[in-house]
Amino acid sequence: MTHPDAPPTGRLVLAATPIGNVEDASPRLRRLLAESEVVAAEDTRRLRALAARMGVTIGGRVVSYHEHNEGERAGELLDVVRGGGTVVVVTDAGMPSVSDPGFRVVAAAVEAGVPVTAAPGPSAVLTALALSGLPTDRFCFEGFPPRKPGERARALAELATERRTLVFFEAPHRLGQTLAAMADAFGPQRPAAVCRELTKTYEEVVRGPLVDLVAWAVAGEVRGEIAIVVGGDVGHPVATTADLVAEVLARADAGERLKDAVADVAETARVPKRELYAAALAARTR
C-alpha cells in the first residue's frame, strides 16, 4: 500500500510501434496508448492513424515530439511524470531514440532522476540484421550515411576495416549512389543485403556482393523504407602506416614513380593518398 504522504510516482515510457504490419503492435502498446496521461508522438497524424488501425482510443493528451522541438518539449513531459502521470513516447515506426526522437528526453529524465522505462517491440535494425543472412553475433548500427558524396566516402572509409556486421538506413533515391560508395570503400565483393519494406506487403530482401546490389539498384526504381546490412571485414589484418610506407618505398626503389606507388597502395589499402604520400616523403628524408 502506498503511504498517503508519499509523492506521486509517474514514469516515462519509450514504446516501440510497428514498422509495417499493424499486427505487430503489442498488448502493452495498446494499453499505454489507451491509459497514459500524455502520448508524445513524432507525427500526431500518423499516431492517430495507427491507433485507428489498431482499434485503440487514445485516452490522454497527444502532443508532438520531433527532432525540431524535442529539446524544449522534454521539460514539459518530465513535469507530467513528476506529477505522477505516465508519458509514452512513440515515433512513426520502431523504437524511439534509435535514429528517431527520444534520446534527449531520456537523457533529461536520467539527469533529473525521473523514472524511465521501455515497452520494447518492432525494430527495423534488428529485423534487417536477422533477415540479412550475415553474422549477427557482433554488429553496429550506423544510421543514415552522410548525403554529400565526399563526406559519405570518408565516413565509409573509416568503417572499411570494421569486423562487425554493419547496419545502415537509406532513402530510396540515394540507394544506388550509397551502394556504389560502399563498393568503393569496402570492396565490390563484400557481402551485403538490401532489406526493403520490412513486415509490409511488398517486403523484399536482396542479398549478394555489393557490386551485384549496385547493378540491381540502378536497374530499376526501388521504393519504400530501406535498411542496408553489410558484412564486416574478414580479410587480412589491417596494415599499419609503417607497413604501407615500407611497401611504397620498396616499389619506388625498384624504379616505380613514388606517386604511382602511393596511388596504388593507397587504393588497395583504402587509405587517403595524401596522408600516405606525406608519410612516404617523411620516411625518405630520414
Instruction: Note the pLDDT tens digit of each residue in 28-44.
Output: 999 999 999 999 999 99
pTM here is 0.78
Contacts of 105 (CB under 8 A, 6+ apart): 12, 40, 65, 70, 73, 74, 77, 78, 89
Q: Is the pLDDT of residue 286 over 80?
A: no
27 pLDDT band, cuts 50/70/90, is: very high
Q: Is the pLDDT of residue 150 over 90?
A: yes
Cα separation, 286 vs 116, in Å, equals: 59
Contact 186, 210 (CB under 8 A): yes
Question: pLDDT: is 67 or 91 the higher one?
Answer: 91
Burial group, residue 63, by CB count within 10 angstroms (0-12, 13-18, 19+): middle
Cα separation, 113 vs 103, in Å, equals: 15
DSSP string, 141-178: EEESPPSSHHHHHHHHHHTTT--SEEEEEE-GGGHHHH
DSSP-assigned beta bridge partners for residue 229: 167, 193
DSSP-assigned beta bridge partners for residue 227: 169, 195
| pLDDT, average across residues 258-266 | 90
Residue with grid cell 608519410, as numbered in its chain: 279
Q: Which range, of 114-123, 208-217, 276-285, averages the lowest pLDDT?
A: 276-285
266 pLDDT band, cuts 50/70/90, is: confident
Number of Cβ atoms within 10 Å of the Cβ of 54 = 17
Question: pLDDT: is 209 or 67 the higher one?
Answer: 209
Contact 17, 25 (CB under 8 A): yes
Cα separation, 59 vs 53, in Å, equals: 16
Number of Cβ atoms within 10 Å of the Cβ of 280 = 23
pLDDT of 159 reads 96
Number of Cβ atoms within 10 Å of the Cβ of 123 = 18
Choose among 232, 229, 260, 234: nearest CA to 247.
260
Question: pLDDT: is 55 or 8 the higher one?
Answer: 55
Sheet containing strand 226-230, edge to edge, reads: 139-143, 165-170, 226-230, 191-196, 204-209
Q: Which range, of 15-24, 94-103, 230-239, averages the lowest pLDDT?
A: 230-239
Judged by DSSP in three states, 94 sits in strand
Judged by DSSP in three states, 87 sits in strand
Q: Is the pLDDT of residue 4 over 60?
A: no
End-to-end CA distance of the chain: 79
Cα separation, 247 vs 188, in Å, equals: 24
